[in-house]
Amino acid sequence: MSNQLPEANGFRIIGKVEDFTSFPASVTIDRDPYFIIQTACQEDAPQEYKLVSAICPHAGGVVRPWENELICPLHYWSFDPATGQSTNVPGEQLDCQPIQISDGQFIISAS
Ligand code: FES
DSSP string, the chain: --SS-GGGGTEEEEEEGGG--SSSEEEEETTEEEEEEE---STTSPP-EEEEE-B-TTT--B-EEETTEEE-TTT--EE-TTT-BBSSSTT-B--EEEEEEETTEEEEE--
What CATH number should be reported for the domain holding residue 82? 2.102.10.10
Report the number of distinct structural domains present in the chain.
1
Residues of the domain holding 54: 6-109
Identify whether 16 is part of a domain.
yes
- Pocket flag, ligand 1, residue 58 (CB < 6 Å): yes
Report the separation in Å between the CA atom of 22 and the middle of ligand 1, taken as the mean of its atom positions.
Answer: 26
Residue of minimum CA distance from atom 1 in ligand 1: 59
**Taking all residues of the chain, what is their mean pLDDT, rounded to a whole number?**
89
Instruction: Tell me, yes or no, whether 103 lies in a domain.
Output: yes
Assigned domain for 1 exists: no
Q: What is the pLDDT of residue 7?
A: 63
Reported as a single tens digit per residue, the pLDDT across 3-54 is: 455 565 789 999 999 999 999 999 999 999 999 998 865 566 677 899 999 9
